[in-house]
Amino acid sequence: MVDSQLRTSGVNAEFVLQRMGVVAREDFVPSIARGIAYIDRAIALDGGRQLAAPVVQGRMLQEAAPNKADRALLVDGGSGYLAELLRPLVQTLDVVSPEQALAADTPTGDYSLVLIDGAVEQLPAALAARIADSGRIVTGLVINRITSVAIGRKSGATISLLPVIEMGIPVLAEFNLPKGWSF
């Protein structure tokens, strides 16, 4: 995985390669999928969720550039894998489900780093409010049905997201825009 998927796709940060080399992906997939845990595709999880391909989570970690001073919040995509990769790289880590991220009772605090383990069409206000001024966010972003890894920063009340690289990222339906009519 490290040599054939990550390095060849531009994921070369040593801390990412080290973490992904020691955290066993097969521990985060259903038992029936353990034999394909390192495939370069998303893997179906219980409950309709998916574990993104290794390169997606590697790229997200690389773009996040976590550090020991970070207070991090992770919106977990259902596997717990990204949380296990991130936990020793930050000062504190709170993990919430997509449903919890939408709720007003999301863990409080000014997070210097927020990661969303999946692709979103919109960033909910309840989640945005938890990001500290100048805080960073890394997420999958859906624009016109195309998913990309996106990075962003909060300034005042504004969060700007910049797509970095198009990749196939499992979509978190909880963050879809309401369906509407347009011409």
Q: Which domains does the chain have, with CATH numbers?
A: 2-175 (3.40.50.150)
C-alpha span between 105 and 32 (Å, rounded): 35
Residues 6+ apart with CB under 8 A from 73: 93, 94, 95, 96, 106, 107, 109, 111, 113, 114, 115, 130
Reference 150, options 164, 167, 136; nearest CA is 164
Assigned token pair, 115: 């990661």
Structure confidence by residue, pLDDT tens digits, 30-88: 999 999 988 889 999 988 899 999 999 999 999 999 999 999 999 999 999 999 999 99
Structure confidence by residue, pLDDT tens digits, 89-135: 999 999 999 999 988 766 666 999 999 999 999 998 888 989 999 99
pTM comes to 0.91
Run of H or E including 82: helix 81-86
